[in-house]
Amino acid sequence: MTALQSREFSLPVRVYIEDTDAGGIVYYVNYLKYFERARTEYMRSLGYDKPAFPGDDLMFVVSEANVSYQSPARLDESITVTARITNTGAATLTFAQTVLRGATCLVNGQVTLALVNSEDGRPRRLPATLRQKVADS
């Protein structure tokens, strides 16, 4: 893996009733959904819509996720979800991610995506154009 510090991408999110448990606290798995939204919008900002590589039979899959829950988000709060690429491998991107309420970190984590062939699931090298866009961001 290569150490890399991309810009931090931020996505504002409102907590809706569908995100919470009976007590009005965000259900733990929904933080992974927030992380996914931020990564998707970050990649979109680099020019990669879903599917990321149309016509090339390539797609990203999550190969690893680590999450640390520090404080809950609650119904109707405005939170910010961040995504920043910290490492690249031959076929992977590793993101550092956070969920913030103002300056307070509620959740942080690390998610690694692997680029694979959508037909056979085998890893594929990251395209040079993607590497360059990440390096420039």
- Boundaries of every domain in the chain: 2-136
Q: Which of 19, 21, 49, 136 is catalytic?
A: 21
Per-residue H/E/C for 80-116: EEEEEEEEECCCEEEEEEEEEECCEEEEEEEEEEEEE
Name the CATH topology of 2-136: Thiol Ester Dehydrase; Chain A (3.10.129)
- Is 19 catalytic? The answer is no
**CA 28 vs CA 13, 73, 131, 134: distances in Å:** 16, 10, 32, 29
Average pLDDT of the chain?
92
What is residue 49's predicted lDDT score, i.e. its pLDDT?
Answer: 77
Strands 104-117 and 78-88: unpaired
Q: Does pLDDT of 33 surpass 60?
A: yes
Which tokens go with 39?
């990564």
What is residue 133's predicted lDDT score, i.e. its pLDDT?
Answer: 87
Greater pLDDT, 127 or 74? 74
pTM: 0.91
Which has the closest alpha carbon to 127: 37, 65, 52? 52
